[in-house]
Structure 1
Amino acid sequence: MMNTDAVFYRAIELLKRGDLARIKTLFASSDAAVKAAVLNGLWGEPGGKPEVGPGVVALAVEGAAHPSPEVRRMACSVFQNQDAWGVDVSPAIGPLLALLGDADAEVRRTAAYATGNVCRRRFDWSPHFAALRRLLSDPYLYLPEAAAWALAKMSRAGHDIGPAIGPLVRVLSRRREYGEPRKQAAKALLHYARKSAAGRDRVRRAVDAATLDGRRKEVTRFLEQLGAL
């Protein structure tokens, strides 16, 4: 059995050298933990020839359909990290949509963050938007915040998140002690509200129709900022 720490560092080194052939050999292991370790190591800038980056993305696309949730989760990380280096991640658009509906909650969460990071690319993101909107009501504690964060990113990238205003306000109105979902929902709502007077009024109407907990600092700050627009 291969040591996964060693595999991780080996993948990092091979990516720097641009040795796609040896990366593929490592990834060909039948051990899911090894596959996950390889993908985890593919976060850096690809060296060597131009085909290395797309080759790495292709491995992640393969990993996105793997039975292991850890492999699928690491595939999401490869998509967003290679996108940050300017690699074409268009082959990942379909797999990302599937991962947003994954049976594993942590995979869904990682896919939401990956979608938020790559959504500035000019593709049709409407199916992903619909999936993120649904994730705002996901029962997993950390998923609504990831979905709200991604929707804020989509808004900044020029996408219309108007149809998610109602669900975002519902996240803001939650009374759980954990406040990060409210914080991220507030960011998405405020960005949308700042885009236009119509957007501001739409957010205000949704807020007026909701019952918010004014004792929560995220809510108090949000209301102050919305009122100042």
Structure 2
Amino acid sequence: MKNVLTLPLAFLSLSASGAIIDNFQSDTVGEAPTDWYNANNWTVELDPTDPTNKVLNTQSREGNQLSGISATIGASSTLTLQFDFYIGSTSLTDLTIGMTGIADLSTASFSDFGPITRLQNGDIRLYQGDGSGGGAYTDADQSIDINTWYTMSMIIDNANNTVTSTITGGAFSSPSILTSSSQSTFAFRQDTSGNLVNFAIYGNTNNRNSSNPILIDNISIIPEPSTYGLLLAACVLGLALVRRHQQ
């Protein structure tokens, strides 16, 4: 069955005002997604769990390639970048996902990411940046399964150059804060004093054409009131957020 979403009324109204960046429903199956910079051989395909739904398949890609689509978070804003992902294998699946303040992605590099997360071989890796283009990955305490849809919500505080993320799906029936050794808030790789202007995905070195699929869907920006505080309140009140793709 399709996603079951049970939320308080206030959350529903706020979510409705969120901006959908791309859900791929207007794209053609087997072709590159429209409006993307450097689609990198990616194609829009049918969801393996729901043949009525279209998703982005990043399987046929070259390594060390940056791709993206316009999405904006203001300089003083706290908003949530949300997307669904589905990892098809525990090997040769490696994408870095986040946002950058570089408007022209043809001039951007991996070090220009602000908030980022990495999906690598069936694991989630978080990034503690130094604000100057460097930092280090650290493994998330939470484990995920392959061939399962998850929703990641990256709560981005652009004013303070930090990000806190939650995950829903699989064993996580309600939003669970992603941690690494109990740390839950992470600094940007590259600080920005202006807007974040592009949702970006970087295909890492071991992502060759023979790599296995990571599927992406439902990329959106959600207003601040529906993010960290409300998610925590929902957990405390026992309100359920269950977002399931067809199994």
The alignment's TM-score, normalised by the length of structure 2, stands at 0.30
| Higher normalized helix content (fraction of residues) | 1
| Higher normalized strand content (fraction of residues) | 2
Bigger radius of gyration among the two: 1
Using CA pairs under 8 Å that are at least 6 residues apart, name the structure with larger relative contact order, 1 or 2: 2
